[in-house]
Amino acid sequence: MLSILIPTYDYNAYPLVCELEKQAIKTNCIYEIICFDDGSKSSINIENKNINNLKNSKFIELRENIGLSNIRNTLAEASTYENLLFIDGDSIVSSNNYIQNYLKVLNENYDVIYGGRIHPKKVEPNRKLRWKYGIYKEDSNVLKRIKNKYISVIFNNTIIRKSVFNKIYFNKEITQYGHEDTVFAYELSKMNASVLHIENSVLHGDVDLNTVFYNKTKKAINNLNLIYKNKLIEPEFVKFLKLFTKLKRIKLNYLISLTYKMFHPIFTLNLTSKNPSIYVFEWFRLSYFCYINLKK
């Protein structure tokens, strides 16, 4: 029994749901597909409403935007079955046996099963920042993921037991973009949840424009700063925060924050260009975090 839960925003998730429906029917499993649009009020939802004509599937438009954390909570609350498969609406299923691959390991009784995510082999130059970050920082095979089994779980293409999800929930206070997965993964680690990593990846279909991802990253870093200051996770859990605390201990965070003040126009110019540097991106992230962390 499988509840497939799809958050989407201003995106046509109908082709994805059609593929998932076809595969679920092929396996003869008991399933449901629930897709919620997070208050985008987009004309694209005319296409998404076709989901309601598919077997065991429904699409609902939320009146207001509630954020990725809360829409996942809302999807879980609307679900019927014990096994919750979360998959983002802009994902592309690249295997004809995607559902079957998960069903094969469901009876092993893991709390969480993560299949991984990959990015396309190439994109347009104005989407290279998000693409490079995905390729070099997020796309990992099973062997790499199991070394850090909790932090490697990105809550897209993830199965979790509903009974486990209900003990944690996504933090309802995190309404802005970024690092809601990190907090959830930390809570999984605290309860010593069992995690299985498998090779059953989905393709990231809607790679952000450089300018969009640059601005999203700023929001994510602001969110991470709130998470850090509110002590929602231990800094040791996140490599980025672990580095920051070391720098802060020896007062280097002050110097690094100055580099953001001095060079942020150069950061912006490079990272929104057609050939953004992943090294500049990492320095931008660290310097911006040091900069905003010093603010009251």
pTM for this entry: 0.93
Provide mean pLDDT across the span 173-199: 89
User: What tens digit of pLDDT does each residue of 128-179 get?
Assistant: 999 999 998 888 889 999 989 999 888 899 999 999 999 998 887 776 777 8
Q: What is the DSSP secondary structure assignment for residue 209, as one 8-state letter?
A: P
pLDDT value of residue 296: 61
Coil vs helix vs strand at 176? coil
Dihedral of the alpha carbons of 48, 52, 57, 59, in degrees to the nearest 10: 50
Q: What is the mean pLDDT of the chain?
A: 94
In the chain, count H helices and then E strands.
12, 10
Question: What domains sit in the chain, N to C, each tagged with a CATH number?
Answer: 2-207 (3.90.550.10), 211-293 (no CATH)
Tell me the per-residue pLDDT of 68-114, one tens digit each, with 9 for 90 and over.
Answer: 889 999 999 999 999 999 999 999 998 999 999 999 999 898 999 99
DSSP-based helix, strand, coil % in the chain, nearest 5: 50, 15, 35
The pLDDT assigned to 169 comes to 87
Name the token pair of 101.
């691959």
In this predicted structure, which of 171-185, 192-206, 219-233 has the lowest mean pLDDT? Answer: 171-185
With beta carbons less than 8 A apart as the criterion, state whether 85 and 2 touch. yes
pLDDT at 175: 66
Give the C-alpha separation, 282 to 94, whole Å. 30
